[in-house]
Amino acid sequence: MHELLGPTTCFRFVGCAVEGFRGILPQQASREQPISKAQRPFQVISTLIWVSSCDLSLQPACMDPAIQAFFQEQIQAAELRLRQEYEARSAQKEAAFQQHAAEAAESWNAQKSFLEEKVAALEHALAETRIRSGRGKSDPNAGSVQQPILVAEPEQEEMKAPATPKRRSQTKVAQTPPATPLGTRRKSTRGSASMPTTPASPRTTRSSTRASTAQGDASTSASPSPVPTLNTPSRTRKPTSAASKARSTPTPPAESQPPTRPAKPKQLLRKEIPVDALLLKDHAFTHFRLISGCLAADDVPEDVDPATLAAFYARFSNEDAVLGARSGPPLISKTSVKVYPYQPAEASQSRNLSRLAMIESTVVDFIATKMARMGISRWTPNYNEAPGSLYNTAISILFIDTFRQAIVSGAYDFNGNQAWKKYTTDMDLLLQIYDHVTHFHFFQIWKEEKRNKGSARFAKERQAMYAVKRKKAKARRNYLKTNKHHRLAKLLIDVKATSDEEQDPAGAFLGQRPIYHPRFRPERSAGAEECIRLIDRAIDSAKGLKKNGIRRDPILIAPPRSQQKITMFPALPPNMPIDYYDPDFFNQLPLELRKKANIGVLVLPGKVEKSLNRKDADGKLTGKQLMEKYGDDVLSCYDLDGFSSGDEGDLSGDGDNESDGDEFDDGEECGSDESEELEDEGEGEGEGIGDEDATMSVLDEEEEREHEMFSRRSTLAAQLSVGNAMDFE
């Protein structure tokens, strides 16, 4: 620059620059904050610009325009370099901030996943512990589906620089959301995503809880609600005032309820179904018998033909192919399909057979068409595979498709109640009912038949006998209550204390009434036996006087006890009065069984033949009053050694404990016909087909694992709900 301008001009230019700095620096010095390093380049540039734009008197008169242009280019280049450097630094800071935010989000997601897995594992372990200990309870307000625990994510309104970390003790309580106990069960609304009009179901979910991840996400996004999270409770000071002490006084604990038995794998208890949907479950049993050919109550599902199974897996490799075959051409001839309408020569007394006879042949023809499209000649589940296998999935699709079409066509309109039909679109309920019918009820029959040949027929006989026992006990109790014999109705009549009956081996008749003989109960005393026979004769006489006509109902004739067969249900009834027991039989029992007797009351009067005589002095006495009057004489015949004063039994109980001790509890009064279901809600007597072994086989373990496949089951339900043309072929 010295060579271009010369010494004088250069000196004057430097002087102008110095004057410019002198004019600016005092102004900057007068400010409260000093100039930062980032501002200094701009300050120099502004000074040079000021110098270049000074009055012409300060500039040399001989300055060449080229020199002025050179200075302008240098100034612009400096501005460009500084601006690029500033933008580069800003981009670097933004990238660093984005990386920090991404690492923080990744750390949060990892922590959330870890907490969700840990909570799920703890809940699963807690549920298994409760089930093994017999303390598991079902929540009547919870649905059959449980949504997974979600950890609330932090709200991200705008990107901000990370704040300076504070002490953990100051922020731990404030940043931790409220807690939900691990043992608390959460309510969930169960429904199919493809069926928004499905009626709400009040049934609960079992230990297995059949949830859908897709349904849970959809419900969460549709209606955001607070979600349970883990929390460490903060410490609070104990109340010290008098009012606080009064509030902290412990209250007496509520009366504990007896634990309810949890459902077994694939089992759907009646209390888990809406009341108006019970007929749907009942008709599902009828449809199973129709489509499988198991018409009689003692029929057992057959094994799958190996050739049919091999041909099926050769045609289909995934569920999409199976679903596509529902509307495709038939793979086999419809004439080779083994499903037939039931057309008996004469009417049957069986409830199952009478219902099957009412189903029209067009429904059976539709079933055969559907089976031909999938290449299945005989509908039968493969119990040697898991319930979720490809073949069993195809079997379930066939069942639900044909069952829904049969309902729409009116095949199961056996009565005027049509409220249950609204659940036809509830695919979740239909799948649960199918699992109960196929993979619980008939699987138990199939498994027991494999272990013990002929067990199905024996179980059918036991079910029929127990149905008669229940009906007989109900008739006796109603007669005694109607005729004001409340003591006998309350203390003597119990389902477990009722003897079972059998038809006369020779098939004898009294007039047109078939003769039946009771089986004797060894624990029953002679007085109790005589009193019960008096009640039966009184009921039979009253029934004959109510209407004219020829009676064809069975008549009960009791031969001598030495000629009677022993009962098939020998379990001792609990809480029966002491005089119900035969003294010789009672005294031979161990103490734990003798303590089942109620030694606080008597049921039989002084003269048993006057049990139904209301004018007799003992007829109006209560059980306690009879004990005060005849107790010393009666108790002297029984061995009460080991009894204490608290072993007098439940004096307020009515002795009607129908669910205690037998596995037959279907909630239906079906007379001498077989009851359809085996729900095993009691303790379990004998070796009924509803009882499972304590040790589970490999097949049972696979079934239980399959029970937990929530997403696959829900996906299948959605696919069955969409595009299902329910028209006859």
- Identify the band that residue 712 occupies on the pLDDT scale cut at 50, 70 and 90: low
Mean pLDDT computed over 414-432: 88
Q: In what helix (H) or strand (E) does residue 556 lie, and over which residues does it extend?
A: strand 555-556
* Position 395 pLDDT exceeds 90: yes
Helices marked H in 341-454: 351-357, 361-373, 390-408, 427-436, 442-451
Instruction: Bin 258: left if φ > 0, else alpha if -120 < ψ < 50, else beta.
Output: beta
Residue 526, pLDDT score: 93
Give the tokens for residue 474: 């109900």
Mean pLDDT computed over 629-649: 80
Of 131-135, 489-493, 622-626, least confident by mean pLDDT is 131-135
3-state secondary structure of 676: coil
Mean pLDDT computed over 483-491: 92
Residue 137, pLDDT score: 52
- Identify the band that residue 606 occupies on the pLDDT scale cut at 50, 70 and 90: confident
3-state secondary structure of 555: strand
Residue 465, pLDDT score: 85
Of 59-73, 158-172, 564-578, 700-714, least confident by mean pLDDT is 158-172
Task: Report which of 593, 390, 567 is spatially closest to residue 468, judged by C-alpha positions.
Answer: 567
Better pLDDT: 241 or 104: 104
Of 225-239, 333-347, 640-654, least confident by mean pLDDT is 225-239
Of 170-174, 433-437, 500-504, least confident by mean pLDDT is 170-174
- Identify the band that residue 658 occupies on the pLDDT scale cut at 50, 70 and 90: very low
Residue 450, pLDDT score: 87
Chain centroid to Cα 50, Å, comes to: 83
Separation between Cα atoms, residue 69 and residue 712, nearest integer Å:
77
- Identify the band that residue 40 occupies on the pLDDT scale cut at 50, 70 and 90: low
* Predicted confidence (pLDDT) per residue in 312-360, tens digit: 999 999 999 999 998 889 999 988 898 888 877 666 667 778 888 888 8
Of 44-48, 333-337, 609-613, 623-627, least confident by mean pLDDT is 44-48
Separation between Cα atoms, residue 238 and residue 196, nearest integer Å:
50
Mean pLDDT computed over 21-35: 47
- Name 503's bridge partners: 516
Q: What does the domain layout of the chain look like in residue ranges? A: 2-96, 270-452+709-721, 462-635
Half-sphere exposure of 292 (CA within 13 A, CB side): 25
Residue 191, pLDDT score: 38
Separation between Cα atoms, residue 95 and residue 576, nearest integer Å:
83
How many CB atoms are closer than 10 A to CB 540? 14
Q: What is the mean pLDDT of the chain?
A: 72
Q: What is the DSSP string of 182-231?
A: TTPPPP-----TT-TTPPP--PPP-TT----HHHHHHHHHHS-----B--
Of 108-122, 643-657, 691-705, least confident by mean pLDDT is 691-705
- Identify the band that residue 496 occupies on the pLDDT scale cut at 50, 70 and 90: very high
Residue 53, pLDDT score: 54
Position of tokens 């649905």?
143
Separation between Cα atoms, residue 47 and residue 515, nearest integer Å:
127
Position of tokens 């009057």?
629
Residue 13, pLDDT score: 52
Task: Report which of 705, 708, 701 is spatially closest to residue 211, judged by C-alpha positions.
Answer: 708
* Position 157 pLDDT exceeds 50: no
Residue 315, pLDDT score: 92
* Position 552 pLDDT exceeds 50: yes
Position of tokens 């005393």?
525
Q: What is the DSSP string of 492-516?
A: T--STTSPPEEE-TT--EETTEEEE
3-state secondary structure of 378: coil
- The answer to whether the beta carbons of residues 185 and 204 sit under 8 Å apart is no
The reported pTM is: 0.49
Better pLDDT: 489 or 30: 489
* Predicted confidence (pLDDT) per residue in 447-475, tens digit: 888 888 887 778 878 888 888 899 999 99
